Amino acid sequence: MSKNKTGKKMLDSRQKATLKRVMGLIKPHTLLMIVSFILAIGTVGLTLYAPIVAGKAIDAIIGAKKVDFSVVYPMALRFVIVIAATAVFQWLLSVINNHVTFSIIRNLRNRLFSHLQNMPLMYTDSNPTGAVINRVISDVDQLSDGLLMGFTQLFTGVVTIIGTLVIMILLKWQIAIIVIVLTPVSLFVARYIARKTFDMFQLQTDTRGEMTALVDEMVGNQKVVWAFNHKDDVVEQFGIINKNLKRCSQDAVFFSSLTNPCTRFVNSLVYVGVGLAGCLFAIGGGISVGVLTVFLSYANQYTKPFNEISGVIAELQNALACVARVFELLDEKEQEDDSRQMELTSRVKGAVEFKKVSFSYIPELPLMEDVNFKVLPGQHVAIVGPTGCGKSTLINLLMRFYDINYGSISLDGNNINTLRRKSVRDCYGMVLQETWLKNASVKDNIAYGKPDATLEEIIEVAKAVHADGFIRRLPDGYNTILGEDGGSLSQGQKQQLCIARVMLKLPPMLILDEATSSIDSRTELHIQHAFARLMKGRTSFVVAHRLQTIQDSDLILVMEDGAIVEKGTHEELLAMCGNYAELYYSQFAV
């Protein structure tokens, strides 16, 4: 079998699998779909009945000044009733189809968002944010457009084709044969083009996701781009992706747009064939002029759905290509369910132990190997070392953001892999070098970890971190709504709010990862005093580059290349004259 044939088979099987899953999304709405189908039949039935009524009225017009009004008037009234009933049926059909489509989209987006909340950090760390957002927003929107067109036009189109064909056979089967003979040509053209366009739309969707990822990344880091004068490079990079998107979009739309004119050409042949054959029968007395009118009307109604369906097929190809990416995201493996694991019920003392811990992000590239240390309740532990040595990774393991490959990490004697993740994370208050504030009031941001906190408690911790002053100078004080990621606040002010958030929660244990890196020295001194009060009696892990802030720590872990190369107190490590001493004297060299 040639590569081309193999590719086509794979493409067909992928389309079928995607279509099957889309049908699974529709299944809960089966009853409404049945009602929609009945309404579609009713709409088409009334639409097909209208030409018969018109044909009878035409046959009642015998000649000049020879009109049988006893037939024309009732037929005219019946025609108006049929048209009005058709309009009501179409309205109900649209209401139901809209309800089903947007219910499916709502449920799918809920599934996607819930799925993302259960995804391991490994996925979010290794995939561009913009590409993920594109799948949740744009790709799902494309599915809604495809479903809406499919429900609205595909149902009525199929029923119209079948209905008109049956009635034409009953009226004059000889003329109907012309339609039957020419129909497969139209179907073949539509099917051929549809198969060709799926992979084109797939490429278009992937490129659109690549563009969204770039825009999200560059807009979010615009200051860095400007600071390093990379604006022209970014514009050039965007231009390349935009050019690729233009090319693949043009190919996809152009090729899919061939469906309509091609099927219109075949359908015009059908109409001409019916007209010529009908005229010959009418001249020979085989049918009346009214019946000929009915046949021409049916020929037009019969061919019209083919044009609509060809447009629907192109839209469905795009929708299937988009929803395939959505299903890829849904198929990504979630974190293992930990609902059956233990919950920490007793008050956490804060004893932590690493035993022969090994971990790597990529199996073939080991990062941590045979890490061992023990922390007693209430001890203050500092973690130091050069950039990339594994300090943040160690914190991620403590919080169960990642699970270890080998060994064990215990909390109060309990292996954390046997505890629920939420239970482990509730034990820690965490302040990172990277700040995060949500689009909400200052008050709500501080109370993120303790939503039921009173305003007095919030103000108290704000004062403790010396944030109360700048908060009160904001337009609405504690009720000021912050924009995305803190809006116009300085980096130091954002960090003060994040520190206040942890202080308000009063967790049993603390993790401080360069928590005061963006704060001025004077404010840092005050915050250090506040931290000292907060850390009293609590096990604390402090990641630090400035060694003067951790000299009083009970235990200092010195890391290098994912391993703990030294551990002890400040004095003990200096006496070793090793890595820590080198780091220390490099900072305080005179």
Identity of the residue numbered 122: M
Please, what are the domains in the chain? 22-331 (1.20.1560.10), 340-427+544-590 (3.40.50.300)
Distance CA(526)–CA(123), nearest Å, equals 39
Residue 124: name the closest of 329, 328, 325 by CA: 329
Q: Answer yes or no: is pLDDT of 406 > 60.
A: yes
- Higher pLDDT among residues 300 and 18, named by residue: 18
Distance CA(76)–CA(53), nearest Å, equals 8
**Is the C-alpha dihedral spanning 361, 362, 367, 368 positive or negative?**
positive
pLDDT at residue 12 in the model: 62
Q: Determine contact, residues 369/563, Cβ cutoff 8 Å.
A: yes
Distance CA(113)–CA(106), nearest Å, equals 11
Local confidence band at 1 (pLDDT 50, 70, 90 cut-offs): very low
- Higher pLDDT among residues 128 and 139, named by residue: 139
Q: Determine contact, residues 535/380, Cβ cutoff 8 Å.
A: yes
pTM score: 0.68
Mean local confidence (pLDDT), 523-541: 77
Q: Answer yes or no: is pLDDT of 587 > 80.
A: no
- Residue 520 class from Cβ within 10 Å (0-12 exposed, 13-18 middle, 19+ buried)? exposed
Local confidence band at 408 (pLDDT 50, 70, 90 cut-offs): very high
Lowest mean pLDDT segment, chosen from 71-85, 178-192, 541-555, 570-584: 178-192
- Higher pLDDT among residues 347 and 355, named by residue: 355
Tokens for 523? 């404010």
Q: Answer yes or no: is pLDDT of 72 > 60.
A: yes
Lowest mean pLDDT segment, chosen from 151-160, 307-316, 377-386: 307-316
How many percent of the chain have pLDDT more than 70?
88
Q: Of the ranges 164-178, 227-241, 400-414, which is most confident?
A: 400-414
Output phi, psi for 334, to 5 deg.
-80, 170
Q: Answer yes or no: is pLDDT of 68 > 60.
A: yes
Q: Determine contact, residues 443/467, Cβ cutoff 8 Å.
A: no
Mean local confidence (pLDDT), 22-50: 86
pLDDT at residue 310 in the model: 63
Tokens for 454? 């009173």
pLDDT at residue 307 in the model: 63
Mean local confidence (pLDDT), 510-523: 73
- In DSSP terms, 324 is beta-bridged to none
Q: Determine contact, residues 581/573, Cβ cutoff 8 Å.
A: yes
Residue 370: CB partners within 8 Å, gap ≥ 6? 356, 357, 358, 407, 563
Q: Answer yes or no: is pLDDT of 294 > 70.
A: yes
Question: What's the chain's average pLDDT?
Answer: 80
Residue 438: CB partners within 8 Å, gap ≥ 6? 444, 445, 448, 482
CA atoms within 13 A on the CB side of 332: 24
pLDDT at residue 3 in the model: 46
